[in-house]
A and B are shown apart, each in its own frame.
Chain A
């Protein structure tokens, strides 16, 4: 007897949509086992992880606040991923976006109504420029954009570190590695001053709708999807490959830059050495959980955000280790990819008849 993996002739349409649900259920089951093993009641822990964060206004505010950048970046990345353009360095583009926007907010004097839009623009352009380096190298010299974008992330974070430890450090900041606080007119207004969630979520809403329009309706999105699925067919049809690379990287860089700007001009109000808890990397997971589809990404972003704040919750309430959040994310991605694989392939047991 042996096992053999073979392609399914007709992938089930139902399972394509059920797979994320199945993966989530399996993640919860595996997580329960893990909690039980650590000596905690699984039901209580799952409650603390997933339900109690959503039972307070503050929890809901934090949930949306953290989901927003994940969704925003996820949308941009998914456009590239659909065209086989692999921007792994959204984290770096986020950081330079935050740097540029904070620079404008702190050191450029502009009319009140103009300051915030210019900061958005600065964050966007900086993110695009950072991604453009990788796009140029890929389009001109066929460099692997996975490596280039990833390495540029480290350069960006050292640049940030240099600025907040050096020239941009707040002179009145007790030597903490952070800039001065942004003026109020350089920040997104919160919906309610008791909570942190702010008007920058509208940027995310616009991005989701724009992405849906781009991927599902636009001719440009169609051309990019052809280029990603079958490069030779794109050449046959006369679509330029290099424009897919540029589009994929510039769009994802732009939204990552905006997300970085929204962090600095939102919950943080300044630039510090830790501008992002890894949104740029987590957004990769979000894009795939959402099947590279705009509305799927919204759900993926909400789920991952819940994992973040739930993880913080169980750390504080139950004293579970911080690594648990990471394990949960990992489990979810693992089950999701496995479920995905089994949509298109099946495992067959072969018994020889002799």
Chain B
């Protein structure tokens, strides 16, 4: 039998970077095949080439024994290749079935299509109401729409790009059941991920990529995590070291009964949020993206301060009506999730980017910005935090994600804050830099700073947090201490099952 898909020597170059360099792999019918690699290893580029959304510079794609000459997404779909992107392509203001109708090529009528959607979604355990408007759906439900949309075409090869990054642990398990069901019917699945445990649980074969080349093929069920990680990273992963915390008596950052309506219709209302972060401890907030994190962050940072509320206090001072700059003057530092365009100005050099928040450190006199001091500050950050950059004249957007993150984290730490808010500290950062950033945050907290981390990576939060909250649908759970942090407990809270209780964790478990 011909393989479902065969790639021979696929090459793709972008200016300054080789995304794929001679990649070959074979996917059998009914096989769940993992493409494992770190961010930037070339996984997403490879998938776009397979789907025809991007063209390879060189190499062959063979599908069911047939060489694909000129590739395109529409050819893919006629061959039975379907793809679920990491970022969904749905129209938010129309219903589920209308979104699905857009990708149906035969003649259809909406009621009949609705019945078919319900039928497919039930068969694969992906419950979905076809009449609901997409903007009412949670991120997990939106992903179901995308998957059902693919399944309607009876695919022979389904590509999923990091599908679990938006799901709770329980929803991940359900998704895996669906995928196994699909594979048992003969559909091949290409599963892109950087999460070792998921690949080991689900996949039959794993092709590991690093820097655009295949570094190995393995049976993930028989390989150890360490073996796979070594193929992915190329070296041993450094471990972080966590001393017990000595929290300060009074909280440095304190949020009490904060409620706020969403700034726009697609946002999340925050409901009765209570949170204390003491000096010397790391408090984490876990949760699936889009459950109120962005709204909470912008209210704490002061980027959105139209809410003249005193619910947020910094070192005992109410922050109602205070701007982001005034909160920094009170001792708050902030590392946002978006590095380029929010944490740093992409087209400015590192010296100017140092001045973005460090201008308060004596860089401004008589209305003039002292660029020499800004450059010195940038040099200090580059040196102390091991940023790989030629110097303060390096343009921010030319740095890799991990290096820019090191620079931003370093800049904020060098402001000697009393409290620091960090969103997605290691998103898209390579393993070495991620370990360094985590250790830096631990050291900072042990030096007496209050550290608040908002992340979607549960392993990361478990590794470094002294206490952990979970946010779901704009509500924050009570705090879990280190012994209470388990996948099971956090997963339940992520589904928001305790929404009718007072937010305590016991209720969630007994629910």
Contact = CB atoms under 8 A, between A and B. Distances in A.
A230 B341 contact: yes
B362 to A, nearest CB: 12
Given A218-B367, A236-B336, A230 B15 contact: no
A82 to B, nearest CB: 11
Contacts of A239: 325
Interface string B352-378: 100111010000100111000000000
A233 B14 contact: no
A222 B57 contact: no
B459 to A, nearest CB: 28
Nearest to B304: A235
Contact of A238 (B325, B342, B345, B364): B325
A233 B368 contact: no
A218 B355 CA distance: 12
A8 interface: yes
A219 B303 CA distance: 20
Contact of B367 (A9, A220, A236, A346): A220
A236 B335 CA distance: 9
A229 B398 CA distance: 16
B338 interface: yes
A222 B323 contact: no
B211 to A, nearest CB: 16
Nearest to A353: B58
A236 B324 contact: yes
Nearest to A236: B342
A226 B16 CA distance: 27
Nearest to A6: B15
B375 to A, nearest CB: 13
A232 interface: yes
Contact of B338 (A7, A232, A353): A232
A128 B268 CA distance: 41
Contacts of A10: 16, 398
B326 interface: yes
Contacts of B303: 235-236
A38 interface: no
Interface residues of A, number: 26
Nearest to A350: B57
Contact of A237 (B69, B341, B357): B357
Which secondary structure dominates where chain A touches chain B? mixed
A353 B356 CA distance: 48
A9 B16 contact: yes
Contact of B368 (A217, A235, A238, A346): A217
A7 B15 contact: yes
B348 interface: yes
Contacts of A217: 368-369
B418 interface: no
A240 B14 CA distance: 37
B74 interface: no
B338 A9 contact: no
Nearest to B11: A353
A211 to B, nearest CB: 14
A219 B359 contact: yes
Interface in A1-53: 6-10
A229 B14 CA distance: 24
B455 interface: no
A233 B343 contact: yes
Interface string B168-197: 000000000000000000000000000000
Contacts of A229: 345-348
A330 to B, nearest CB: 28
A239 B364 CA distance: 14
Contacts of B364: 219
A226 B15 contact: no
Contacts of B343: 233, 236
A239 B302 CA distance: 11
B147 interface: no
Contact of A219 (B16, B301, B369): B369
A350 B54 CA distance: 13
B446 interface: no
B359 to A, nearest CB: 7
Nearest to B374: A222
Contact of A233 (B302, B326, B342): B342
Contacts of A230: 341-342, 344-347
Nearest to B353: A233
Contacts of B347: 229-230
Contacts of A237: 324-325, 356-357
Max count, chain A CB within 10 A of own CB: residue among B16, B343, B368? B368
A229 B356 CA distance: 13
Interface in A153-188: none
B328 interface: yes
A240 B355 CA distance: 16
Nearest to B303: A235
Nearest to B327: A238
A230 B327 CA distance: 21
A226 B369 contact: no
A148 to B, nearest CB: 25
B301 to A, nearest CB: 7
Interface string B13-25: 0111100000000
Given A226-B345, A233-B356, A238-B325, A219 B338 contact: no
B301 A236 contact: yes
Contacts of B51: none
Contacts of A219: 359, 364, 367-369
Interface in B259-312: 301-303
B324 A235 contact: yes
Contact of B342 (A218, A225, A232, A240): A232
A247 to B, nearest CB: 13
B334 interface: yes
A6 B17 CA distance: 13
A322 B323 CA distance: 55
Interface in A207-248: 217-220, 222, 225-226, 229-230, 232-233, 235-240
Given A219-B359, A220-B367, A226-B356, A233 B345 contact: yes
Nearest to A8: B15
A272 B380 CA distance: 61
B352 to A, nearest CB: 7
14 contacts: A8-B15, A9-B398, A218-B367, A220-B367, A222-B352, A222-B355, A225-B348, A226-B345, A229-B345, A232-B342, A236-B343, A238-B326, A350-B55, A350-B57
Interface of B: 14-17, 55, 57-58, 69, 301-303, 323-328, 334, 336, 338, 341-348, 352, 355-357, 359, 364, 367-369, 398
Given A8-B15, A230-B342, A236-B324, 9 more contacts: A7-B15, A220-B367, A222-B359, A235-B342, A236-B303, A236-B336, A237-B324, A238-B325, A239-B325
The 6 closest A-B pairs by CB, nearest first: A238-B325, A9-B16, A238-B324, A9-B15, A232-B342, A219-B369
